[in-house]
Amino acid sequence: MGSGLARMRAGAAIAGVSATALLMTALPANAATHGKLGDDKTWGNTITLDNGEDFRTVLMTLNLADSSSSLSVYCVDIEHSAKPVRMNERDWDDYPSDAGVTFNENREQINWILHNSYPRVGLDDLSGAVNASDDGDDLKHGKLSKKAAITATQAAIWSYSDDVALDPDASRHDVMATYNYLTGDANQGTAQPEASLDIHTDEVTGHAGELVGPVTITTNGEISNVDLELPDGVEIADAGGEVLDPAELTAGDEFYLDVPTSVGEGSAEISVDAAKTEVDIGRLFVAADYEENPAQSLIAASTGSTGSEHTATVSWGPAQQETTPPETPGSQTPSETPSQAPTETESAAPAPSSETNETVEQETEDLAYTGASVIAPALIGVGLLAAGGVAVFLVRRRQKA
């Protein structure tokens, strides 16, 4: 059994510290997969929105770092310009708060579009879906061009990410027909795909003196290296406290940080490398330094394979204080303490109610007397007083005679 279990405090009452422990967090800046925009672009048509603004549509290429692989990507942020900066893979929940105004409300609808339009779906199949749809007109010539497919797909994505709509009077027939299909009743949404590599630390709290965790590494590739920068005395362990070898961790394994009390408040860094991970359609890419230098956010419209790396910083709070009151000699637990009659210095039982008093008086009358009675002397005294009164009356009557 690991040394952590020997340090666990069984049965101690805990108080005097904040009830909220420090959260273990993964830093978005050290995302699993990243890349930069390439020079390859396939242009669509310029569209006119119902507010009169014009925008050029384009299917771009994101070259993945340390790989010959690339992704086709669309824009999910109409207000910012695309820039050749490092783009980090992020979960949908990490979408920039000041970017597309309706991305978070409609992200599953955006992902459905990506899975059911160009380039994920070929032009012939996409044309057939549009012609068979009840949400728009048939295509003018029965088949979409690549340019019309890209135009309609990007416009449909913007309608969900930025709450903008095409002007039907200023739009080409085939573009409008495809746009109506992609935003129509068939679009029931598609859930977010799993990250290519992630260190799960959601809702994990902890303090020194505990097994802090759990932490889970997930990847659709193969873990090639796990590197931990731990303070002296801190080890990784399973839920039972058994020490683990980082080199033996595989995808999906759950582990904890065994933090001795003596370490106190602190943090550790976990870095994971994985080979041949797959970036799926629908994964989000955001500029690494978006807060300082905003750039257009992108979303994957095709899959790609690459090596990935991810780093998470793990923090924990100071050891919790034990406040179990000291035991006095001969002290017993409540279940072991015998009942005792009150002593002369202790208060007796609560005063009985009037009903109880009546019961006591009745019981007293029924009891036999064991001492001298006061009734007989009282009767004798009454008799003597009566006799004296009679005597006085007779004497006065005799004197008058």
170 and 69 in a common domain: yes
SS3 annotation, the chain: CCHHHHCCCCCCCECCCCCCCEECEECHHHCCCEEEEEEEEEEEEEEEECCCCEEEEEEEEEEECCCCCEEEEEECCCCCCCCCCCEEEECHHHCCCCCCCCHHHHHHHHHHHHHCCCCCCCHHHHHHHHHHCCCCCCCCCCCCCHHHHHHHHHHHHHHHHCCCCECHHHCCHHHHHHHHHHCCCCCCCCCCCCCCEEEECCCCEEECCCEEEEEEEEECCEEEEEEEECCCCCEEECCCCCECCHHHCCCCCEEEEECCHHHCCEEEEEEEEEEEEEECCCCEEEECCCCCCCCCCEEECCCEEEEEEEEEEEEEECCCCECCCCCCCCCCCCCCCCCCCCCCCCCCCCCCCHHHHHHHHHHHHCCCCCCCCCHHHHHHHHHHHHHHHHHHHHHHHHHHC
88 and 10 in a common domain: no
Q: What is the pLDDT of residues 130-182, one digit of tens each?
A: 999 998 789 998 999 999 999 999 999 999 999 999 999 999 999 999 999 99
Residue 401 has pLDDT above 90, yes or no: no
How far is residue 335's CA from residue 261's CA, in Å, rounded to a whole number? 33
What pLDDT band is residue 12 in, cutting at 50, 70 and 90?
A: very low
How far is residue 105's CA from residue 109's CA, in Å, rounded to a whole number? 9
- Which residue is listed with tokens 């273990």? 24
Q: What is the pLDDT of residues 72-119, one digit of tens each?
A: 999 999 999 999 999 999 999 999 988 767 999 999 999 999 999 999
pLDDT for res 361: 46
The residue with greater pLDDT, 401 or 44, is: 44
* Of the residues 148, 182, 216, the one at which a domain ends: 182
Average of per-residue pLDDT across 22-37: 60
Q: What is the pLDDT of residues 347-393, one digit of tens each?
A: 444 444 444 444 444 444 443 333 344 454 455 555 656 666 655 55
> Is residue 133 within 8 Å of residue 186, measured between CB atoms?
yes
Structure tokens at 157: 């994505």
83 and 60 in a common domain: yes
165 and 66 in a common domain: yes
How far is residue 20's CA from residue 316's CA, in Å, rounded to a whole number? 11
pLDDT for res 104: 94
What pLDDT band is residue 276 in, cutting at 50, 70 and 90?
A: confident
Closest CA to 154 of 169, 141, 138, 166: 166
**Does 339 map to a domain?**
no
Distance of CA 392 to the CA centre of its chain: 105
How far is residue 362's CA from residue 364's CA, in Å, rounded to a whole number? 5
Residues pairing with 255 in the sheet: 215
Domain range enclosing 89 = 33-182
204 and 130 in a common domain: no
> Is residue 87 within 8 Å of residue 286, measured between CB atoms?
yes
pLDDT for res 16: 33
Average of per-residue pLDDT across 332-344: 48
* Of the residues 182, 213, 245, the one at which a domain ends: 182
Residue 314 has pLDDT above 60, yes or no: yes
pLDDT for res 136: 75
127 and 76 in a common domain: yes
Mean pLDDT for the chain?
Answer: 80
AA letter at 227: D
Structure tokens at 220: 């659709």
149 and 10 in a common domain: no
**Does 55 map to a domain?**
yes
* Of the residues 316, 339, 362, the one at which a domain ends: 316
Average of per-residue pLDDT across 182-191: 97
Structure tokens at 363: 């019981």
Structure tokens at 332: 């017993």
258 and 120 in a common domain: no
- Model pTM score: 0.69
How far is residue 205's CA from residue 201's CA, in Å, rounded to a whole number? 9
**Does 360 map to a domain?**
no
Cα 352–355–356 angle (5° rounding)?
Answer: 40
CA torsion through residues 296, 301, 306, 311, sign: positive
The residue with greater pLDDT, 183 or 311, is: 183
Residues 6+ apart with CB under 8 A from 368: none
What pLDDT band is residue 301 in, cutting at 50, 70 and 90?
A: very high
104 and 48 in a common domain: yes
> Is residue 89 within 8 Å of residue 279, measured between CB atoms?
yes
Q: What is the pLDDT of residues 54-67, one digit of tens each?
A: 999 999 999 998 77
Look at 51-65, 303-317, 324-338, 363-377 and tell me which has the smallest mean pLDDT: 363-377
What pLDDT band is residue 321 in, cutting at 50, 70 and 90?
A: confident
**Does 381 map to a domain?**
no
218 and 134 in a common domain: no
**Does 76 map to a domain?**
yes
Percent of the chain at pLDDT > 90 equals: 61
176 and 72 in a common domain: yes
164 and 198 in a common domain: no
**Does 267 map to a domain?**
yes
**Does 366 map to a domain?**
no
- Which residue is listed with tokens 């019961």? 359
pLDDT for res 3: 35
> Cis omega (within 30 of 0) on the bond before 119?
yes
pLDDT for res 13: 30
Please state the domain count of the chain. Answer: 2
**Does 167 map to a domain?**
yes
CATH code, domain carrying 216? 2.60.40
